[in-house]
Amino acid sequence: MDDLVVFMNRTDLSPVVQAAIAHAQFETIHPFADGNGRVGRALIHVVLRRRCLAPRYVPPVSLVLAADARSYVSGLMAFRDGRPGDWIDLFSWAIGRAAEKASDLAARLAELQARWRERTGKPRRHSSVEALIVALPAHPIITVTTGQELLGRSKQAVNQAIAALAGCGVLRPLTLARRNRAWEARELFDLVDEVERELAVPE
């Protein structure tokens, strides 16, 4: 583990190679009775974030690797057998596929937001409705209180924005009580589910 920590602090090699080796090394050490896979996958994103390759989002590398579990396990076994190149090749391919799918998701999110704007009558650029449309992909469940914190606007403005989006089906109530009611952008969850299903099919 000490060696792994030293390795993860290096900055003299490719972040992708570093993430690949850190993950495989951790899975080989297997220090916990349970949760090694989760921690090992988390290490991938720690490296990618710290090395500024993916500082603001989490590419779905785990989903890509899980789509072909046999190849994933074979790659880790190759690493343990002294053939790190085989594992790094597979991991690099998974990173590329994850990046492509993340870009595809971003484009589809932008299309969904464009449809929301049409449904709400093309809100003004600086309106609360527009601000909420921009914020929803990162915050698909919202209350008036969280809306105020996100948008920095009055309770009345956020209430009106939520009402406008609810009126055209962009937001749906999650709770029945009027006080502290939560709303969800169901289409966002549906889109993410769709992308995850696509990733679950090996290429």
- pLDDT tens-place string over residues 122-177: 999 999 999 999 999 999 999 999 999 999 999 999 999 999 999 999 999 997 67
Q: Give 201's contacts (C-beta < 8 A, 6+ positions apart).
A: 67
Q: Which residue has the higher pLDDT, 117 or 175?
A: 117
The tokens for 81 are 């057998």
pLDDT at 200: 82
Rounded (to 5) percent helix, strand, coil in the chain: 70, 5, 30
Structural domain 120-195, CATH architecture? Orthogonal Bundle (1.10)
* Residue 52 φ/ψ region, left for φ over 0, alpha for ψ in the -120 to 50 degree band, beta for the rest: left
Q: 54-77, pLDDT tens digit by residue? A: 888 888 998 899 888 999 999 999
Interval 107-112 mean pLDDT:
96
pLDDT at 39: 94
**What is the rounded distance in angstroms from the CA atom of residue 59 to the CA atom of residue 86?**
21
- Tell me, rounded to whole angstroms, the distance of Cα 113 from its chain centroid: 18
pLDDT at 199: 86
pTM: 0.82
pLDDT at 55: 85
Q: Where are the domains of the chain?
A: 2-102, 120-195
pLDDT band at 201, cuts 50/70/90?
confident
42 half-sphere exposure, CB direction, 13 A CA radius: 5
The correct CATH number of 2-102 out of 3.40.228.10, 1.10.3720.10, 3.30.565.10, 1.10.3290.10 is 1.10.3290.10
